[in-house]
Amino acid sequence: MADDSNPIPVQQECPGGCCKKDVSESRRTLMRRLGWGAFFTTLAVSAAGTLRFFFPRVLFEPPTTFKIGTLENYPQGTADKYGVVSVSEQFMEAQRVWIVRESDKIYAIFGKCTHLGCTPKWFPDDRQYKCPCHGSQYYSNGENFAGPAPRPMDRYAITKLEDGRIMVDKSVLFTVTQFDDPRCFLEA
């Protein structure tokens, strides 16, 4: 006796045109898309996270401001032919900054060659700064006149605090076109 009573036929034509195969097919497509979608999303997020990883949030670099004393520390005097009364090297070693006094103002030159960033050296007798790397030369006011340097040395923001002391802020830098900015020098 043949067994015709199997309740679950393996293959069955779908009467209403709705085919079982199609249903599972589209479910599989959806699952496949979700799967790959999750995979590539994870990959993209990890890649973005890894890129972000290379930009540290905290820098263990020295503070950007320092105080250079009061106006009395930078007395008036006779100016050289570039209008500079004095160039102070007091903060050069620790801060890489020259404090320059002209007859009507004080400003802070960042001791970084505008060619490729070496530290020029101050020659008081010549009233010049000279860069050891590729021979750029600057007048005492930081203006370039020889070598590959494209522009005068940059200057840092300088302000007078309420107690009379003068503060230099190394996080604010001015290039030659901005030297008229009131934060770039101290009238004195």
Partner 1 sequence: MATQIWKSIFRHDFEDTPANRGKVIRSNVFLHLHPLRIPKHAMKIRFTWCMGGITFFAFLVECITGILLMFYYHPVIEYAYMDMKYLQFDVPFGQILRNIHRWGAHLMVMTVMLHMLRVFLTSSYKPPREFNWVIGVLLLTLTLLMSFTGYLLPWDQLAYWAITVGTNMGAATPFIGVEGPFSLVDKFTDVRFVLLGGTTVGANALLRFYVAHVIAIPAVVFVGCAIHFWRIRKDGGISRPL
Binding site for partner 1 (CB under 8 A): 54-56, 59-61, 116-118, 133
Q: Which stretch binds ligand FES (CB under 6 A): 15-23, 48-56, 59-67, 130-138?
A: 130-138
Please give the radius of gyration of the chain, using alpha carbons only, rounded to the nearest integer: 35
148 binds, among ligand FES, partner 1, none (CB under 5 to 8 A by kind): ligand FES
Q: Are 174 and 156 in contact (CB under 8 A)?
A: yes
Q: Are 95 and 111 in contact (CB under 8 A)?
A: no
The residue among 113, 172, 184, 124 whose CA lies nearest residue 148 is 113
Q: Should residue 146 be labelled a site residue for ligand FES when binding is judged by CB under 6 A?
A: no
Cβ 109 to partner 1 shortest distance, Å: 18
Q: Should residue 153 be labelled a site residue for ligand FES when binding is judged by CB under 6 A?
A: no
Cβ 151 to partner 1 shortest distance, Å: 12
Angle 181-105-109 from CA coordinates, rounded to 5°:
70
The H or E element containing residue 42 is helix 20-53
Q: Should residue 131 be labelled a site residue for ligand FES when binding is judged by CB under 6 A?
A: yes
Q: Residue 29 corresponds to which tokens in the numbers above?
A: 């497509």
What residue ranges bind ligand FES (CB under 6 A)?
113, 115-118, 131, 133-136, 147-149
